[in-house]
A and B are shown apart, each in its own frame.
Chain A
């Protein structure tokens, strides 16, 4: 059901500030959803409100057809993996995972079995007797995950699950989270500021800014058709130029581009979409950095600063060199179409 979780005009705040205003959002059962946005956009606040840790100022929250807006946090059957993992330091790995189950009255062999299953799912079968301080960051996170998952929650939320991990671990955990989600079919929401993660893992992405939703869509939709310059910028488009009166608005004045669709709000190019070496525009190389397979250039141009990425196999350009470049329509994303 596409409205497994639904928020209706959700308004949240702390003290005098309003963090989220009239938020309408829905999540389908079994979906892997990302809440993406910069710090302060209200994504974590929303997550906490859904979990029941923050009382809404206005609006409603529905889960599986039930209005849970006033329901106590310990009765919502929602799991949450905190960014800091929030493991219980005085308990062993086993007891951490068993915590919620014991509260439900489970004990003995049934408990042992469930805990063992939970630990196996996250690949920590042999860690049951360990103490929390002995674990690495990645292991702690997996314990936190198992702890929530053994409760078989209706909804599992993760707050910035990968930001504390180093690069390699991050990739491993990405894969693991996706696998766990597909295997168990649990509805998962994860909150992140990293667009790469969101694009890689989620079925659908909700992009938030200043307490409002900027765009909702699949990763492809967000990547190829960002709804606003903000979203475009956030997902990695470096060159975003608004369209006004059929022409591109640039720092150096309006620029015409053949074949421009005037109904679009803006056009956006990624650094690798800018063609270096030939074209109607020119700029001075102000920065060069080598990134293995590619080279990144920062050009000072009449249109404003432009970032270009070119294959490292091509002849390198030097600082101060004047180069020609093009902003081809084919590689541009149309921002703000329907």
Chain B
């Protein structure tokens, strides 16, 4: 009954054409701006971009923070996900809801909460002074640390959700079997849990890494104009200098890095199925 290709075409054409026209074409056009110099294809804009030490710093900072956030999310994610999966009964649903909640709330709200918390008169500083660890309020805001914290809070739920799915699909007896054979917790984690939850980890990892690289509000608000990441740099270049060439270069870099992260993560997921 589902043989007429023409029917399928009619059903899928609107969505496909829409995506191509409204999204793919304009974005590709923008990307190509980063590879044109004086009327023809060239890598000149790319090398010019990296010639600037500011740009280089921004690039490496973006990568660094993304990697750190992913690592932290992985660590905390496993702990939290495992704790949730171990919960017996109805509490689990509520826990998952609490984890998912932040994803549903306006990013503006989220980021401003951090301003309040990390600011000079915010809780953290007040606590630190109170406890006596420092005499003067620390400048936590508008730093890489602030961005790191903000991004981690933003993206951790994604990792936790992915890992919950993976941990729940673990063959139930694998851990018990390992324990019977004498493995301790660390060994169990490294040899059993990690390999078997590869795919969930890969999905979560990609989401977190790509999310960190392409986040805008968090770096914009918590980093300010001094601590730029690639996206905030892009915005600045366009809104201040109307520099579309840089925009094209940066956009291309971001997309390539997202794809690369995706591929690496898929490779990790598929490598050596146990």
Chain B residues contacting A73 (CB-CB under 8 Å) are 1
**Does any Cβ of A come within 8 Å of B173's Cβ?**
no
Chain B residues contacting A175 (CB-CB under 8 Å) are none
- Taken together as a complex, chains A and B put the C-alpha atoms of A73 and B1 apart, in Å, by 9
Chain B residues contacting A53 (CB-CB under 8 Å) are 1
Chain A residues contacting B1 (CB-CB under 8 Å) are 53-54, 73
- Taken together as a complex, chains A and B put the C-alpha atoms of A55 and B3 apart, in Å, by 8
State how many angstroms separate the Cβ of A170 from the closest Cβ of chain B. Answer: 30
- Taken together as a complex, chains A and B put the C-alpha atoms of A53 and B1 apart, in Å, by 5
- Taking CB atoms and an 8 Å cut-off, the chain B residues in 1-41 that contact chain A are 1, 3
- Taken together as a complex, chains A and B put the C-alpha atoms of A53 and B3 apart, in Å, by 9
- Taken together as a complex, chains A and B put the C-alpha atoms of A73 and B3 apart, in Å, by 13
Of all chain A residues, which has the CB nearest B3? A55
Chain A residues contacting B3 (CB-CB under 8 Å) are 54-55
Of all chain B residues, which has the CB nearest A53? B1
Interface residues of B: mostly helix, strand, loop or mixed? Answer: loop
Instruction: Flag B29-68 by CB within 8 Å of A: 1 or 0 each.
Output: 0000000000000000000000000000000000000000
Instruction: Flag B257-274 by CB within 8 Å of A: 1 or 0 each.
Output: 000000000000000000
- Taken together as a complex, chains A and B put the C-alpha atoms of A154 and B215 apart, in Å, by 64
Report the interface size for chain A: residues with CB under 8 A from the other chain. 4
Of all chain A residues, which has the CB nearest B4? A55
Of all chain B residues, which has the CB nearest A52? B1
State how many angstroms separate the Cβ of A132 from the closest Cβ of chain B. Answer: 22
State how many angstroms separate the Cβ of B238 from the closest Cβ of chain A. Answer: 50
State how many angstroms separate the Cβ of A327 from the closest Cβ of chain B. Answer: 51
State how many angstroms separate the Cβ of A19 from the closest Cβ of chain B. Answer: 13
Of all chain A residues, which has the CB nearest B2? A53
- Taken together as a complex, chains A and B put the C-alpha atoms of A55 and B5 apart, in Å, by 13
- Taking CB atoms and an 8 Å cut-off, the chain A residues in 23-60 that contact chain B are 53-55
- Taken together as a complex, chains A and B put the C-alpha atoms of A55 and B2 apart, in Å, by 10
- Taken together as a complex, chains A and B put the C-alpha atoms of A178 and B245 apart, in Å, by 78
State how many angstroms separate the Cβ of B94 from the closest Cβ of chain A. Answer: 27
Chain B residues contacting A54 (CB-CB under 8 Å) are 1, 3
State how many angstroms separate the Cβ of A184 from the closest Cβ of chain B. Answer: 27
- Taken together as a complex, chains A and B put the C-alpha atoms of A55 and B7 apart, in Å, by 15
Instruction: Flag A116-158 by CB within 8 Å of B: 1 or 0 each.
Output: 0000000000000000000000000000000000000000000
State how many angstroms separate the Cβ of A79 from the closest Cβ of chain B. Answer: 16
Of all chain B residues, which has the CB nearest A73? B1
Of all chain B residues, which has the CB nearest A48? B1
- Taken together as a complex, chains A and B put the C-alpha atoms of A148 and B3 apart, in Å, by 24
State how many angstroms separate the Cβ of B81 from the closest Cβ of chain A. Answer: 31
State how many angstroms separate the Cβ of B8 from the closest Cβ of chain A. Answer: 15
- Taken together as a complex, chains A and B put the C-alpha atoms of A285 and B3 apart, in Å, by 54
State how many angstroms separate the Cβ of A86 from the closest Cβ of chain B. Answer: 12
Chain B residues contacting A55 (CB-CB under 8 Å) are 3
- Taken together as a complex, chains A and B put the C-alpha atoms of A53 and B208 apart, in Å, by 46
State how many angstroms separate the Cβ of A80 from the closest Cβ of chain B. Answer: 12
- Taken together as a complex, chains A and B put the C-alpha atoms of A54 and B3 apart, in Å, by 8
Of all chain B residues, which has the CB nearest A14? B3
Instruction: Flag A49-89 by CB within 8 Å of B: 1 or 0 each.
Output: 00001110000000000000000010000000000000000
- Taken together as a complex, chains A and B put the C-alpha atoms of A54 and B1 apart, in Å, by 6
Instruction: Name B's A-contacting residues (CB within 8 A).
Output: 1, 3
Instruction: Name A's B-contacting residues (CB within 8 A).
Output: 53-55, 73
Closest 5 interchain pairs by CB? A53-B1, A55-B3, A73-B1, A54-B3, A54-B1
A-B residue pairs in contact (CB < 8 Å), sample of 5: A53-B1, A54-B1, A54-B3, A55-B3, A73-B1
